[in-house]
Amino acid sequence: MRVSVRKDGSALSHAPDNWYAVDWRRVERNVRGMQIRIAKATREGNWRRGRALQRMLTRTLSAKLYAVRRVTQNQGARTAGVDRELWDSPESRWLAVGRLKRRGYKPLPLRRVFIPKANGKERPLGIPTMRDRAMQALYLLALEPVSESTSDPNSYGFRLNRSTADAMSQIFVAMSQKGSARWVLEADIKGCFDHISHNWMETHVLMDKEILRKWLKAGLIYKGQLQATEAGTPQGGIISRTLANVTLNGLERELLAHLSAKFGIAKANKLKVNVVRYADDFVITGDSQELLEQEVRPWVEAFLAVRGLQLSEEKTRITHIDSGFDFLGWNFRKYSGTLLIKPSKKNVQTFYRKVADTISGHKTVKQENLIRLLNPMLRGWAQYHSPVVAKEAYSRMESLIFRRLWRWSTRRHLNKNADWVKKKYFHSEGNRNWVFAVPVARDDGSKGLLSLYQLSGTEIKRHRKVKGAFNPFDPEWEQYGEQLRQARMEHSMRYRKQWVSLYMSQDGLCSHCGCALTKETGWHDHHLEYRMHGGTDALSNRVLLHPHCHQQVHAGKIAVTKPARS
């Protein structure tokens, strides 16, 4: 049991009167209880009850607290909207909760910004104000149970406990056997987020229509000028991805139902049609080119047209599996009847350019700082490709990066010979030579090496795909969901052994509030006995807390106990 009390022995109040007094475990329990009821009503087709429960949820204090916490602890919390307002203090967050009201609500225009894409183009984002973000987060709490309960089984983008690796694994399931589908329709929707029909969303998205209409028509401010938004749901808002998912829901179910109605169930199954979608990117398999060209593609185009969308002529193609196709940064291709999934050439080239630019852009920094810059990039890229056939790509990338680092090292000492440069910047570590590393002092005072992440040392391990029917808001899937979340968090952090030990010892829960630690919530490493008071870095003196819980513990001088392993 996790117990949190003030250092003077007094218990924390259950009735919050400020941000630090909030019982987040109770907040999360209240919100989740309502979401489970909304999902149940949706599965039963009782939309009248579902609407009533949605209204009830968006008016509760717990949901408003949850929404404000979400928008103030994510990566965008430091990015302001057109009003330049940030909720960066506990007082401003507490006041913000009282401003989340439906009556009289009018969203401000979005702030238009552009971020670079991998292909050299720019992706437009619309940044809402903090209040509008919090309102979106509030209504997303009510929409998400509906979205999850009506989603296609093989839709994997921007959904709880689903990832690109799940989409990749489903393609492997659909195409790896000798008798599997041989043809693939690679589909790309032209400007999906910018062209979704507002009329379609207002009619079909199961949420508060008036609030949705206000967001869709809020407009954009770019270079000081207000631009009307007549279509689309601009990327940048918390709810935008879910709205896009809801728009494309039914692509898989309705296509299979159409084929079954036209050809009969038995013959439709022999057509080997499978739809795998990640957000607005999807592939459709089939047993023949003619089927995909004459039957599937026209149906998909009609399905999208109703929603104001269309396929991109340049990027949509039909390919044989022996020629291979790219999807989500991987190349899928059969070699002599065996399906191999490898990092795509485009993905490898883009990543190498990013690393090369980082190295060339930091010619004068200390070696230690350069390694700390590169390691998260290398580790992230390697872990993304760890479920596929990537050893050759790892080795090739290591060779290219080594050449870059050698040039980086030699240009700093033009008057020194190669042997001198090697001894200064490259070391031996175990059975490895020529390791780009630097001696550093450890926390315990001893010396060690801070070395560049070894790509070729990344373990290749097949991904365990999420079950297609999994619904995070269905109590029957509760245990499966918890096991899935913990396994995936442990897998993503497996190269941070101390973090994994703490995470597992706490059953994946914050030691203060008892709520789940996730990538979205983030976490801080808290010392039970502060280091300034003589506390050590030993695991027995450390726990993982949510960032806001960490602030609450320090501000309220709260003593957190080390949880016993359940």
| The last residue of a domain, from among 167, 186, 218 | 218
Q: How far apart are the C-alpha atoms of 34 and 346, rounded to whole Å? A: 44
Q: Are residues 316 and 191 in the same domain?
A: yes
pLDDT of residue 45: 95
Fill in the amino acid letter for 421.
V
Residue 6 falls inside a structural domain: no
Number of domains in the chain: 4
Question: CA 146, 148, 152, 156 torsion: positive or negative?
Answer: positive
Residue 290 falls inside a structural domain: yes
Give the model confidence (pLDDT) of 510-548 as tens digits.
Answer: 888 888 888 778 888 888 887 666 677 788 888 898 888
Residue 318 falls inside a structural domain: yes
Residue 310 falls inside a structural domain: yes
Residue 260 falls inside a structural domain: yes
pLDDT of residue 541: 85
Q: How far apart are the C-alpha atoms of 258 and 510, rounded to whole Å? A: 47
Give the model confidence (pLDDT) of 165-201 as tens digits.
Answer: 999 999 999 999 999 999 999 999 998 888 999 999 9
What Cα–Cα distance (Å) separates residue 453 from each residue in 235, 327, 441, 450?
Answer: 33, 26, 18, 9
Q: 330-335 and 325-327 as β-strands: parallel, antiparallel, unpaired?
A: antiparallel
Q: What is the CATH number of the domain that holds 192?
A: 3.30.70.270
Percent pLDDT > 70 in the chain is 95
Q: What is the CATH number of the domain that holds 498?
A: 1.10.30
Highest mean pLDDT among 14-28, 360-374, 438-452: 360-374
Q: Are residues 156 and 259 in the same domain?
A: yes
Q: Are residues 378 and 334 in the same domain?
A: no
Q: Are residues 295 and 336 in the same domain?
A: yes
Residue 107 or residue 16, greater confidence = 107
Q: How many Cα neighbours within 13 Å face the side chain of 372? A: 7
Q: Are residues 171 and 300 in the same domain?
A: yes
pLDDT of residue 116: 77
Phi, psi of 85 (to 5 degrees): -95, 135
pLDDT of residue 8: 42
Provide the 10 A C-beta neighbour count for residue 199. Answer: 11
Q: Are residues 21 and 97 in the same domain?
A: yes
Give the model confidence (pLDDT) of 394-412 as tens digits.
Answer: 999 999 999 999 999 999 9
Residue with tokens 């907040």: 27
Confidence of residue 445 (pLDDT cuts 50, 70, 90): low
Residue 515 falls inside a structural domain: yes
Residue 526 falls inside a structural domain: yes
Q: Are residues 136 and 237 in the same domain?
A: no
Q: Are residues 214 and 336 in the same domain?
A: no
Q: Are residues 266 and 294 in the same domain?
A: yes
3-state secondary structure 144-201: HHHHHHHCCCCECCCCCCCCHHHHHHHHHHHHCCCCCCCEEEEEEECCHHHHCCHHHH
Of 113-127, 194-208, 279-293, the least confident: 113-127
Residue 462 falls inside a structural domain: no
Q: Are residues 288 and 383 in the same domain?
A: no
Mean pLDDT over 119-132 rounds to 84
Q: Which domain holds residue 115?
A: 16-148+209-218
pLDDT exceeds cutoff 80 at 419: yes
Mapped onto helix, strand or coil, the DSSP state of residue 286 is strand
Q: Are residues 422 and 484 in the same domain?
A: no
| The last residue of a domain, from among 451, 466, 497 | 451
pLDDT of residue 154: 97
pLDDT exceeds cutoff 60 at 7: no
| The last residue of a domain, from among 324, 341, 358 | 341
Q: Are residues 138 and 255 in the same domain?
A: no
pLDDT exceeds cutoff 70 at 495: no
Q: 220-222 and 110-116 as β-strands: parallel, antiparallel, unpaired?
A: parallel
pLDDT exceeds cutoff 50 at 432: yes
Phi, psi of 419 (to 5 degrees): -65, -40
Give the model confidence (pLDDT) of 234-266 as tens digits.
Answer: 778 899 999 999 999 999 999 999 999 999 999
